[in-house]
Structures are given as C-alpha cells and as structure tokens.
Amino acid sequence: MESKLKVPYGLDTSGQLVSADLAEKDKTYFCPNCNSQLVRRAGEVKVKHFAHPSTANCSQESILHITAKNLIESVIRSNSLSQIEITLHSDCYQCGVEFNTTLPFGTFTSAAQEVTVASYVCDVVGYRIGGNSLGIEIFHTHEVDGEKAANLPIPWIELKAEDVINDPHHWKPTQRKLKPSFCSKCRSNIKLVQSVANRWNIDSTLYTPIKNAFLANYVADVETCFRCKEVVPVFWWMGVPFCEQEPPHPRPKTIKYRNSKKYGGSYWANTCANCNMIQGDNYLFLFDDAPFKNMPVSESEREQDGGLVKVATGDEAISEMMKVIKRNFS
C-alpha cells in the first residue's frame, strides 16, 4: 500500500538523486531518507512523482530536508568542477532593492553535509579557496533559531527545502549572515562618491560612502554646487540639519561653521570644496530629492526674533522654504 508522502527525487542504484521527471521506467529508485524502494508514477493527468510505501517509517519533513541537502551539496560540487553557475537572490544593503548575483564557475572547491562549526552543526558547508566557507541551513518547518543565527562564526544562509527542490541552482535565502551586497546603482554611486572625495583630497578614513549612520561619524554623497557647478562631496552627521553643535573631530575639511541670512544665524554647514559656497541643508537633507533624504535628522527648535523657529522636514520643510523665498523676493 502506498502512502501520501511526496517524494520529488529518488536515489538510483549508484546513490545519485534523480527527479521523477527524469526517472527511467525500468530502473529502481529509493527514498533518500529511509531507503525504501519507490514506485514511479507517470500518468497522463497527474504530475510525475515517486510513490512511497506506507509501511516505511518516514516523514514528509525528513524527505524534503534530506533531498534538499543532497541537492545543495550536488550543486556546489558541480560548481567546483566548473559545470554550473549559481544564482543568489540578494537585497541591496543600501537601498533594499532585490537583485540577483551570479556565483561563477569555481566559486566553491567542495562541499560536505552535517559539518560541525564551533558548537553548531551546519546542514551543508560549501568550501572556498583560502579556507573560507559558507554554511547552508535547510528548513521545512523549523527555521534557524536566534542563538545559532547570532553565533554561527561563518557566513551562512538559510534556504527553504521546497525552493531548493523546485530550483536547486537559484538560492533565495530566508535568513542570511553575509557581507553587505549592493545593487548596480548603489555600487556605481559608492564609486562616484569615493572618486569625487579623492579628487578634493578628503581623507577616506573620515567617512563612509554607505548610507548607514552606524558605520562612521560622517556619511558621504555628492552634490553639484549651485554656484560654480562643480560636483563636490557633501556629508551627513548626527545632528543635521542646521546643526549648531560642533560636529565630532576629526571631520571633513568642507564642513564649516558659517552664517546664513536665510537661516537667520550660524550653523555647521557643508561648503563647496571649490568655491566655498554653503550647500543648503534643505537641499541636502530635507527635500524629497535630497541625497540624504532617508538618513536620520534632528527635530530642534531655537529662538529667533523673540520666537521659536522649528527645523522642519519633508513637505513641511518645502512649504517653509517657499514662504522664505516669497518673503525675500516679493
């Protein structure tokens, strides 16, 4: 009697995984988990599959888990032999957009299952030249727990068993601990920022070109100076916009304490590396197309002409700026 277990792949007599679609009629196949002999079903109506005997002590989770592990190990070994490339689904560290990265031929050198790493066991480990390795966890119903996720001392990804079985060459992690990856647009912008900062002799140790407030005191981008039209580096730091407290040392030389008539006082501002003109905080931090639009900004108030002036953001900032322009030019 057959059970209702779904067996997408069977082992042939040489121990190789074979999908039900590619299984041959006159050959024998076995369950990857319990080694029971399977029966190939290939009707005209139902999808081709392997039938599992009901007498075997086996579970759906175990079948899918071990099948996915075997597939991943096989794919990594094929990659090490320069037979296939692997597609890794990623999220841009900076902007969050989804994109695919290709792991080229020879990315890995070998693979193994059930590998002990520190005090943990990884379902599969893919090895790379130089001793680097990637842990791969497979889950059907049990995800990697928080302790293992935080403490596993090698880069790792978690893959759904069903996703692996559907396409073992396309990895779509549900969890990961990898070095940051960037979409092509953000990679290009990072290179541009570094190039422009170098051109104007800005010390690269003072800033990060990645928009993450926790990586450095200063985050860099570029802007075109509205007066001289040069492309120059500009910087975000904790306390902008209209920061009246002195920014941390050491700092980029283009951040200066300047007086602004439009602001009605002095504050620490970005200035043009070429002509020394203030690059307005509204344009850098608050407007919808500002280079630092999504970075944290302070909301502060200060006394001016006997009243309180609030540092506005977003649509409120644009509205307030238009009032200033109309007042000055009408």
Q: What does the pLDDT read at residue 151?
A: 96
Q: What does the pLDDT read at residue 307?
A: 38
When pLDDT is cut at 50, 70 and 90, the band that residue 261 belongs to is confident
Pairing of strands 218-224, 231-236: antiparallel
Handedness of CA 176, 236, 242, 316 (dihedral sign): negative
How would DSSP label each residue in 229-275? --EEEEEE-TT-SSB-SPPPSS--TTEEEEEETTTTEEEEEEE-TTT
CA–CA gap between residue 122 and residue 77 (Å, rounded)? 17
Q: What does the pLDDT read at residue 169?
A: 97
CA–CA gap between residue 275 and residue 264 (Å, rounded)? 22
Q: What does the pLDDT read at residue 328?
A: 40
When pLDDT is cut at 50, 70 and 90, the band that residue 292 belongs to is very high
Q: Which residue has the tokens 């609030």?
A: 310
In terms of Cα–Cα distance, which of 55, 48, 52 is closest to 32? 52
Please give the mean pLDDT across all residues of the chain: 89
The predicted-structure confidence for 39-66, as pLDDT tens digits, reads as follows: 888 765 566 778 888 766 788 889 999 9
In terms of Cα–Cα distance, which of 104, 149, 148, 155 is closest to 133? 155
Q: Is 318 exposed, middle or buried (0-12, 13-18, 19+ CB in 10 A)?
A: middle
Q: Give the phi and the psi of residue 65 in degrees, each rounded to 5.
A: -65, -50
The predicted-structure confidence for 128-154, as pLDDT tens digits, reads as follows: 988 789 999 999 888 999 999 999 999
pLDDT exceeding 90 applies to what percent of the chain?
75
Question: Which of 40-54, 190-204, 247-261, 292-306 has the least mean pLDDT?
Answer: 292-306
What mean pLDDT is predicted for residues 67-87?
A: 97
- Report how far apart, in Å, the C-alpha atoms of 177 and of each of 82, 90, 106, 150, 174 are: 26, 12, 22, 9, 11
- DSSP assignment letter at 2: B
Q: What does the pLDDT read at residue 7?
A: 87
The predicted-structure confidence for 10-35, as pLDDT tens digits, reads as follows: 999 999 999 988 998 889 999 999 99
Handedness of CA 193, 176, 125, 171 (dihedral sign): negative
Pairing of strands 175-177, 207-208: unpaired
